[in-house]
Amino acid sequence: MSLVGPRPEVPRYVELYSEAQRAILGLRPGITDLASIKYRHESELLAESADPDQTYIQLLLPDKIRINLAYASRAGLWSDFLVILATLGLFPVTRIQGAP
């Protein structure tokens, strides 16, 4: 595990990945990533849903996958440093290339 990288997903959701989306599984997982920052209030979003599991599968999971695939295409020391700063609230996420 590294400091920055896609957060590991639970196996039952990984089973839903397409072949192209499975590229995420080849990345070193991390403690923080852009999807985690964007969905830091995920539990509140899901609590407002009539069907949290379906909301996660249909809305949040595809967006997290999109964000993580974008990260994979440009991952590097500088982008990781910016993600760490954004995690700490010291850098606007929107200023990171490919950010949500």
pLDDT, one tens digit per residue, over 45-88 is 999 999 999 999 999 999 999 999 999 888 899 999 999 999 99
Asked if residue 8 has pLDDT above 70, the reply is yes
Tally of structural domains, the chain: 1
Between the alpha carbon of residue 3 and those of residues 32, 53, 72, 84, the distances in Å are 6, 28, 14, 8
Cα–Cα dist 50/29, whole Å = 31
Asked if residue 97 has pLDDT above 80, the reply is no
Whether the Cβ atoms of residue 25 and residue 14 lie closer than 8 Å to each other: yes
- Domain contains 20: yes
User: What residues make up the domain containing 87?
Assistant: 2-95
Cα–Cα dist 9/18, whole Å = 14
- Domain contains 100: no
* pTM recorded for the entire structure: 0.89
- Domain contains 61: yes
